[in-house]
Structure 1
């Protein structure tokens, strides 16, 4: 089963609160964006979009996260800083969970990459990557565990949640706060949730496919970075490395890995977003109902921040499209891999590792480790600023949740 997330309307959000959180996994996967399984557990996040410090901001938005089944034995990370996520830019104030699998762990934190190391800076308006002020560890008991909608800032206790819905009278069942960490007051937990790690249990039915191996891929022919619109690896091959030299007029090249007996889906292109990431000093545009993008703010490396794009869970990067300089838009093409025909029982599972260290974009070369492929990329500012990559191992299909 895939973990997934989707944005929902306020009215749907209220009904989904009666359905809210679900099951989990044990390696980190950065988030899925496919239609959820209605029989799966759900996590519902509710909050605002836009300037959360504005007294005139009365927005109400939600997204849901579909959770892996019990026995999947892996972790899946949901990054709210990921432009490919329906939870992107949601400033979360409350969480609900429904129909959760047993022995599922859920980590909530304001760290962009789900780390639990606390820092000492705080900025609620833009929630920058330097915010590292809280983490909460939840665990479900019996199958079907439910957390009635609760403020993130209220999860500063240890024990089972017993909160009650003021409308339906429903009470939380079998969801425990195992531990929490907090720097400063609990007001720092409102509108700053940035990462959720969902870890599913293992059981006697847990099956994991063998890791797949393949030859080291060759570098492709370089081409001009600013003219790389709609670029993709050849059919049935996957991005495994990228290098770039100079500015937007410099050359970019990719490694494309071909894996024996594997076929790829056609995949889909992500939403377009500025290559320069986000500008943390940008003004709020009342006409657009959002903060100005880094492209609208123009050159400002000092205040640039990453956007951590990651492919949906159990998908890999097949292509990247970009036009112009750092103010131009970037998109990524992601898709599933199969051994044979594109059927669920033949689908390859994708197990990401950790993000690479930052490297200067203008003189950068990154190849995934042996037998790994690319599933994420983050960049901020122009070519003199930094880029990071996320790679993943591949496992052969199994007749079990992935």
Structure 2
């Protein structure tokens, strides 16, 4: 009789373990999202310049020293989820806005991948936005933060290591203030 009870108890313990093991995959999966440094390009002048990150890269920073005739450097990054590259689906250019009164925030769950500027601070600026996809599902963009204010003519701004650029605001000429919006990326089942 003791053997029978021990066998039943052991069988119930194994069944309980099987239930716990089978329910574990149903729990939310953890995803590791990395933003790795990518392409960097310095445009010779801010005047009449158009820049777009290479395929499957997004903006992660910008550097500018001088007036509209001075060079601007753009920094791009490649996004990986669990070691696999994220696909960047670029959208259209935004409507032009006067650079000296410029304010752009990418639409929900979009990031910035390009910038197009004409003339001086009174000229138009446009941005190119993009949606991100991994395994045919859209990656979410969350937790936007604004950088410190920088003098446009003497600054470098880079996204924190786990974030990408999602907005920018600039007021005035090259002596005016510039800020960048950076956001985190999230992928859920």
Alignment TM-score > 0.5, same fold: yes
User: Where does residue 90 of structure 2 map in the other structure?
Assistant: 266
Higher helix share: 2
- Contact 2:37–2:78 (Cα < 8 Å) also in 1: no
User: Where does residue 250 of structure 1 map in the other structure?
Assistant: 70
Shift of 1:228: 1.1
**Higher relative contact order at CA 8 Å, sep ≥6: structure 1 or structure 2?**
2
- Contact 2:47–2:68 (Cα < 8 Å) also in 1: yes
- Contact 1:209–1:395 (Cα < 8 Å) also in 2: no
Distance in 2 between residues matched to 1:208 and 1:324, nearest whole Å:
49
Distance in 1 between residues matched to 2:29 and 2:167, nearest whole Å:
23
> Larger Rg: 1 or 2?
2
Structure 2: 5+ residue runs without aligned partners?
1-27
Shift of 1:352: 3.4
Off by >3 Å, runs of 4+ in structure 1:
207-211, 216-219
User: Where does residue 99 of structure 2 map in the other structure?
Assistant: 275
Q: 1:361 aligns with which of 145, 152, 167?
A: 152
Distance in 2 between residues matched to 1:330 and 1:208, nearest whole Å:
41
User: Where does residue 376 of structure 1 map in the other structure?
Assistant: 167
Shift of 1:315: 0.3
- Contact 1:352–1:375 (Cα < 8 Å) also in 2: no
Task: Tell me: CA distance 1:332–1:210, structure 2 relative to 1, closer, same or farther (3 Å).
Answer: same
- Contact 2:163–2:184 (Cα < 8 Å) also in 1: yes
What are the within-5 Å matches in structure 2 for residues 159-170 of structure 1?
Answer: none
Residues 37-58 of structure 1 show CA distances to partners (whole Å, capped at 9, x for unaligned) of xxxxxxxxxxxxxxxxxxxxxx
Shift of 1:233: 0.4
Are 2:54 and 1:228 aligned?
no
Are 2:25 and 1:216 aligned?
no
Q: 1:329 aligns with which of 118, 124, 131?
A: 124
Higher strand share: 2
Residues 319-375 of structure 1 show CA distances to partners (whole Å, capped at 9, x for unaligned) of 0110110000000100100014xx4xx110111332111100000110000021100
Distance in 2 between residues matched to 1:215 and 1:318, nearest whole Å:
15
User: Where does residue 56 of structure 1 map in the other structure?
Assistant: none
* Cα RMSD, aligned residues only: 1.8
- Contact 1:216–1:370 (Cα < 8 Å) also in 2: no
Tell me the secondary structure at the aligned position of residue 155 of structure 2: strand
Distance in 1 between residues matched to 2:77 and 2:144, nearest whole Å:
18
